[in-house]
């Protein structure tokens, strides 16, 4: 019997902290579930990042009251929908539905996108809350997934009561392969022959953005550094003829934009366990767009880059000049070979591979 025949009547509730249109992981999962015949109901605690950010202006008391109110509305929707399986993204979602799961015995999959104790700006009180939440929910979680082998080991060692996570990587969809049409060069107003070093993603502090800025001044005149994203660092970028910034692009068009880059940079410093063990979306998006990667030496990222030879790594304690030096050292032949390897990598390492793993976990959880 086909999977679709078995699942067409099964209802799955997916709950996230905020409804983020740029969350490629969430979109791929929902698309995979719908294609498999499941009936999906997406719920979120906050409509977007702005709504959540507005709460920071309220007192702690009113923040708690508001959060409890949103949880109450959420529970009403869950009882009306009556899902056969729940997929919760992020620890706030676990906290919101733990009473419902305990009462209804509904199977629960928890997707941990990162190790939340190591998030930017995390407080001691939040760490205590996280530990309490995981301890309270451990016996309610049927299955758990995360994004990298490093995070699997970290969760297993830190929270032995939680189910051992399975790896579902942030791989891109293979059939979204595109041919570059010049849009990135046209957007920043440069000749198509201009070489571009691209940083794509969140523009936040402590992500190595300063090193990318610094590297720009060491690159030749035919190079331009482009930042594509949003975040608090965006207003601090020293924009010039050699350093540009463009607005973040939708998931449906992202590869068409980044395919104009010469190299994609992942400069995350080794300043947290999240960075050390991350496998970000861009690790698959850059190769799928035919763009070799230049990354700081972080264990999980380096393992993939060196295995597939899809880019180049610079030392973990390197700075902007170190980044620039590796770019200057590379020849056109080096890049051409890396591009060929990017194509081979994308044929083997894509969402189709991890979609099968994800759907197998889903099927096993609700049977």
In the three-class reduction of DSSP (H, G, I as helix; E, B as strand; rest coil), residue 191 is classed as coil
Cα–Cα distances (Å) from 203 to 80, 115, 134, 233, 349, in that order, read: 39, 19, 29, 5, 27
145 — pLDDT class (breaks 50, 70, 90): very high
289 — pLDDT class (breaks 50, 70, 90): very high
Q: Where are the alpha helices (DSSP H) in 120-268?
A: 124-137, 149-158, 183-188, 209-216, 254-258
Instruction: State mean pLDDT over 22-40.
Output: 93
pLDDT digits (tens, 9 = 90+) for 317-360: 999 999 999 999 999 999 999 999 999 999 999 999 999 999 99
Please count the other Cβ atoms lying within 10 Å of the Cβ belonging to residue 103.
10
**pLDDT higher than threshold 80 for residue 52:** no
20-34, 60-74, 273-287, 346-360 — which is least confidently predicted? Answer: 60-74
User: Residue 79: which residues within 8 A CB-CB, separation 6 or more?
Assistant: 100
Say what the pLDDT of residue 39 is: 95
Instruction: State mean pLDDT over 261-278.
Output: 96
% of the chain at pLDDT higher than 90: 80
Residue 19: φ, ψ to 5°: -85, 90
Residue 59: φ, ψ to 5°: -70, 160
Q: Which of 6-20, 66-80, 325-339 has the highest mean pLDDT?
A: 325-339
Q: Where are the alpha helices (DSSP H) in 217-319?
A: 254-258, 273-276, 282-288, 299-308
Instruction: State mean pLDDT over 48-54.
Output: 48
**pLDDT higher than threshold 70 for residue 2:** no
Pick the closest to residue 339 from 304, 298, 289, 281 (CA basis): 289
Cα separation, 20 vs 46, in Å, equals 9
Q: Are 10 and 39 in contact (CB under 8 A)?
A: yes
**pLDDT higher than threshold 70 for residue 271:** yes
**pTM of the prediction?**
0.89
176 — pLDDT class (breaks 50, 70, 90): low
Instruction: State mean pLDDT over 108-123.
Output: 93
Instruction: State mean pLDDT over 280-287.
Output: 96
147-161, 164-178, 234-248 — which is least confidently predicted? Answer: 164-178
Q: Six-digit token pair at 145? A: 């997934």
Instruction: State mean pLDDT over 50-58.
Output: 49
**pLDDT higher than threshold 50 for residue 51:** no
Averaged pLDDT score across all residues of the chain: 91
Please count the other Cβ atoms lying within 10 Å of the Cβ belonging to residue 66.
16
Cα separation, 292 vs 39, in Å, equals 38
DSSP letter (8 states) at residue 172: P
**pLDDT higher than threshold 50 for residue 1:** no
Cα separation, 144 vs 87, in Å, equals 9
Please count the other Cβ atoms lying within 10 Å of the Cβ belonging to residue 192.
10
Cα separation, 367 vs 352, in Å, equals 23
Q: Are 198 and 245 in contact (CB under 8 A)?
A: no
């Amino acid at each position: 019997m086909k999977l679709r025949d078995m699942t067409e009547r099964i209802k799955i509730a997916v709950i996230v902290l905020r409804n983020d249109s740029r969350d490629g992981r969430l979109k791929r999962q929902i698309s995979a579930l719908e294609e498999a015949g499941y009936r999906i109901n997406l719920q979120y605690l906050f409509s977007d990042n702005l709504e959540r950010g507005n709460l920071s202006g309220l007192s702690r008391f009113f923040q708690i009251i508001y959060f409890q109110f949103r949880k109450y509305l959420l529970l009403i929707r869950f009882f009306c929908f009556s899902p056969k399986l729940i997929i919760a993204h992020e620890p706030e979602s676990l906290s919101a539905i733990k009473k419902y799961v305990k009462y209804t015995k509904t199977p629960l999959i928890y997707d941990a996108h990162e190790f939340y104790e190591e998030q930017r700006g995390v407080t001691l009180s939040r760490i205590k809350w996280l530990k309490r939440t995981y301890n309270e929910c451990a016996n309610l979680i049927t299955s758990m997934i995360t994004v990298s082998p490093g995070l699997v080991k970290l969760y297993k060692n830190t929270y032995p009561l939680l189910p051992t996570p399975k790896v579902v990587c942030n791989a891109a969809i293979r059939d979204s392969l595109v041919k570059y049409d010049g849009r990135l060069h046209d957007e920043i107003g440069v000749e198509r022959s201009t070489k571009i070093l691209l940083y794509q993603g969140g523009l936040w502090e402590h992500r190595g953005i300063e090193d990318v800025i610094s590297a720009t001044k060491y690159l030749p005149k035919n190079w331009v550094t482009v930042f594509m994203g949003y975040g608090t660092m965006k207003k601090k970028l020293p924009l010039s003829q050699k350093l540009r910034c463009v607005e973040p692009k939708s998931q449906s068009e992202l590869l068409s934009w980044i395919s104009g880059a010469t190299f994609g940079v992942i400069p995350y410093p080794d300043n947290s366990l999240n960075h050390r063990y991350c496998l970000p979306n861009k690790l698959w998006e850059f190769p799928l767009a035919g763009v070799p990667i230049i990354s700081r030496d972080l264990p999980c990222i380096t393992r993939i880059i060196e295995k597939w030879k899809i880019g180049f790594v610079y030392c973990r304690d390197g700075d902007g000049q170190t980044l620039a030096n590796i770019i200057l050292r590379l020849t056109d032949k080096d890049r051409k070979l890396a591009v060929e390897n990017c194509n081979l990598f994308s044929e083997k390492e894509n969402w189709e591979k991890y979609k099968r793993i994800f759907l197998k976990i889903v099927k096993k959880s609700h049977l």
